[in-house]
Amino acid sequence: MNIYDIADMAGVSIATVSRVVNGSSKVSEKTRQKVLDVIEKSGYTPNVFAQGLGLNTMHTIGILVPQISDLYMANAVSYLEQRLHKLGYNCILSCSGFLANQKDAHVQMLLSKRIDALILVGSTYAGSEDQTHNSDYIKRAALEVPVFLINGVVEGENVYCTASNDYQATFDATRFLIENGHRRIIFMTDSRSYSANQKKRGYEDALSYMGIELGKEMEVFIKNDVEDAKRQFSKFDNLKYDAVLSTDDAMAIGAMKYLISQNRNIPEDVSIIGYNNSSLCVCTTPELTSIDNMVERVAEETVSRLERVLNGDTNVSQKNIVACNLVKRGTTEG
């Protein structure tokens, strides 16, 4: 027995069931009683409540990330916690890693804590192209609590997604490089996640739009680590590149360190653009041009939509895309 069964038996939407068990005033007394009667007869107990039939919540939000050491995820969690605490919510944080069975296990663990909603931070939860991966565990979780996904898109009832417009960001950044005279642009990534795929597609479409043939050898896969990227970048000397577009600032800085060690001038010989506009960008000479994926705004909008959903608002869109911004610094011209 789950929330869908209750909704079907009562002849209402799952949003209405959610409002009833959350104690929302935005339900007629007749509808409320009908839903409560079905809950009582079925013996269904909503997982998010410890004090009986949805009259009180635990005021606790579960937050799941694959790894907290990642700067993007750490920043996202920091912004989320700040805003949730202001609304009176406590947070439970867990790190799942990247394996599908571990993601599912950590989701189940958080649900067992009687959370009011679940926030998944990172596009890895939306799947990837290099493994058989489905989102059934997210949809199962959404039968019990609203699920909010940051930087990925999964379609399903009671699932709400907020993502940066990674496709448009890399399209615009690639076009910017081309318009400034670059033709051999390395695209550097460490992932095949939803977000990484959007970035790669933006890069490829911009090349096509600008009439430049795509060379698959220009798309390279490197571990997201400054020193490791520096060591690996020597493999690409034969590509005759004049620009680098990276899906993370750390890899971009690794490439920069290698180029400087080879007496290449930046940006005169090679222009470089990173991604995330992290604090690393201003720790280099020259400072790194980077795409700001607006993580703070993404976190703000996620919490705003979460609050509306938990308050019974049925007009919350399930997909919200946030525009990015190219922050130009010393590693690019123009």
Report pLDDT for 184. Answer: 97
Name the least confident of 57-61, 160-164, 308-312: 57-61
Token representation of residue 107: 């989701």
- Contact (CB, 8 A) for 72 and 278: yes
Residue 267, phi then psi, degrees to nearest 5: -100, 10
Task: State the average pLDDT over residues 212-239.
Answer: 94
Task: State the average pLDDT over residues 5-21.
Answer: 82
Which residues are CB-neighbours of 215 under 8 A, at least 6 positions away? none
Residue 168, phi then psi, degrees to nearest 5: -65, -35
- Classify residue 98 by its DSSP letter: S
| 289 lies in the same domain as 172 | yes
55 pLDDT more than 50: no
136 pLDDT more than 80: yes
CA dihedral sign, ordered 46, 52, 54, 58: negative
| 160 lies in the same domain as 210 | no
| 27 lies in the same domain as 101 | no
Report pLDDT for 272. Answer: 98
Q: Does residue 118 lie within any of the structural domains? A: yes
Q: Does residue 222 lie within any of the structural domains? A: yes
Task: State the average pLDDT over residues 10-33.
Answer: 81
Q: Does residue 266 lie within any of the structural domains? A: yes
Band the pLDDT of 51: cuts 50, 70, 90: very low
Q: Does residue 214 lie within any of the structural domains? A: yes
Q: Which CATH number goes with the domain that contains 265?
A: 3.40.50.2300
| 158 lies in the same domain as 299 | yes
CA triple 93-97-99, angle to 5 deg? 135
- What residue ranges in the chain does DSSP mark as E strands? 60-65, 90-95, 117-121, 147-150, 159-164, 185-189, 219-221, 243-246, 271-275, 289-292, 319-322, 325-327
| 210 lies in the same domain as 299 | no
| 94 lies in the same domain as 196 | no
Q: Does residue 76 lie within any of the structural domains? A: yes
CA distance linking residue 246 with residue 281, whole number of Å: 13
pLDDT digit string, tens, across residues 259-283: 999 999 999 999 999 999 999 999 9
| 114 lies in the same domain as 141 | yes
Band the pLDDT of 48: cuts 50, 70, 90: very low
Name the least confident of 133-137, 204-208, 287-291, 325-329: 133-137
Return the percentage of the chain with pLDDT > 90, whole number.
72
Work out the end-to-end distance of the chain between its first and last CA atoms, rounded to an integer number of angstroms.
60
Q: Does residue 178 lie within any of the structural domains? A: yes
| 106 lies in the same domain as 136 | yes
Report pLDDT for 77. Answer: 97
130 pLDDT more than 50: no
Higher pLDDT among residues 64 and 132, named by residue = 64
52 pLDDT more than 50: no
129 pLDDT more than 70: no
Band the pLDDT of 128: cuts 50, 70, 90: low
- Contact (CB, 8 A) for 253 and 274: yes
**How many structural domains are present in the chain?**
3
100 pLDDT more than 50: yes
Q: Does residue 48 lie within any of the structural domains? A: no
CA distance linking residue 265 with residue 263, whole number of Å: 6
The highest-confidence range among 52-66, 126-140, 190-204, by mean pLDDT, is 190-204
Question: Whole domain around residue 21: which residue ranges?
Answer: 3-42
CA distance linking residue 206 with residue 285, whole number of Å: 28
Q: Which CATH number goes with the domain that contains 26?
A: 1.10.260.40
| 274 lies in the same domain as 302 | no
Band the pLDDT of 133: cuts 50, 70, 90: low
314 pLDDT more than 90: no
Report pLDDT for 245. Answer: 98
Q: Does residue 211 lie within any of the structural domains? A: yes
| 242 lies in the same domain as 308 | no
CA triple 217-181-278, angle to 5 deg? 70
| 179 lies in the same domain as 239 | yes
| 178 lies in the same domain as 261 | yes
Band the pLDDT of 183: cuts 50, 70, 90: very high
223 pLDDT more than 80: yes
Report pLDDT for 47. Answer: 55
56 pLDDT more than 60: no
- What residue ranges in 67-155 does DSSP mark as E strands? 90-95, 117-121, 147-150
DSSP for 68-90, written as a single string = TTSHHHHHHHHHHHHHHHHTT-E
3-state secondary structure of 230: helix
CA distance linking residue 10 with residue 273, whole number of Å: 54
Return the percentage of the chain with pLDDT > 70, whole number.
93
202 pLDDT more than 90: yes
Higher pLDDT among residues 171 and 71, named by residue = 171
